Amino acid sequence: MCGNSNFTLSKTSISRFEAGEGVEVTATYNRSTAGNDTGKITVSGGGADSKTVSVSGKAVKPTMSVSPTSLNFESVVNTTSLPQTVTVTCTDMPTTPSVTLSQDIINIFKITSNTLGTQGGSLKVTFTPEAARSYSGRITITGGGVTKTVSLNGTGKGSPYLNVNPESLTFKDVNVNTTSTGQKVTIKGSNLTGNVTISPSAYFSINPRTTTITAAQAAAGYDVYVYFNAPAKKGTYNGTLTVSSGTVKKTVSLTGIAIPEGVSPY
């Protein structure tokens, strides 16, 4: 071997009998760091012309990265969250990395999709809490002597809840073509995952006039005032104030009584 100690031979000499029969010599390449090498095997002796064999080798170091390195979930009890994605990128990986999932309670976190190959891929993870509490877990990805982890954190929430108080309002003896004084409705919610919509039906209006509030506003308690807009014709008018968030809905029954103009309601 000439010029490079990173190549070794299974035999460095053979007898003339072996040469006559033909013998197999194995060249092995071993390098402690990533890089490239070249060398030559020179065969000589027995008065014959020498022969050379060119050899080359490349040592690679597998790398792997994951993004993100942690996933955080929040979901209502016994409801599966939307999947979140972990992207894995590999270089010089000799085989497909292995994936293991560990967690404090089995079947809370699940890997629903795995497209990993030697160049990487993606994992999709879901969260299904069985109680209103915190959960944790870890995904371990191993390949080519490299190990990466992704931490999993989840919070189980109680079922969404909405309440309205009172559940009915009556506006008595409002002159036609006038607007009543306002009556208060308090909206309270918990464990809501989206905004709350407030919708009065015909002949009724609200103040503040906004028809959408946040889940945080509902959690703190939100007061809205309802008005009866008496039309030009006397009579009794029924309607509703609908308060909803996602699949949760509450209604306030509304009744307005319009009386002729000029008639005192007192």
Q: Is 20 exposed, middle or buried (0-12, 13-18, 19+ CB in 10 A)?
A: exposed
Alpha-carbon distance 22 to 16, whole Å? 10
* Integer CA distances (angstroms), 33 to 6, 40, 58, in order: 11, 21, 10
For residue 53, the model assigns a pLDDT of 86
For residue 10, the model assigns a pLDDT of 81
For residue 21, the model assigns a pLDDT of 79
For residue 199, the model assigns a pLDDT of 97
For residue 138, the model assigns a pLDDT of 97
Which positions ≥6 away from 37 have C-beta within 8 Å?
4, 6, 7, 29, 31, 56, 57, 58, 59
**Is the peptide bond prior to 208 cis by the omega test (within 30 degrees of 0)?**
yes
In tens, the pLDDT along 187-204 reads 999 988 899 999 999 999
Output the DSSP codes for 120-176. Answer: EEEEEEEE--SSSSEEEEEEEEEETTEEEEEEEEEEEEPPPEEEEESSEEEEEEEET
Alpha-carbon distance 226 to 198, whole Å? 11
For residue 64, the model assigns a pLDDT of 98
For residue 110, the model assigns a pLDDT of 97
Residues in the chain, pLDDT under 70: 1-3, 46-47, 263-266
For residue 3, the model assigns a pLDDT of 61
For residue 120, the model assigns a pLDDT of 97
For residue 20, the model assigns a pLDDT of 72
Domains and CATH numbers, the chain: 7-59 (no CATH), 63-157 (2.60.40.10), 161-259 (2.60.40.10)
For residue 70, the model assigns a pLDDT of 98
SS3 (DSSP) at 195: coil
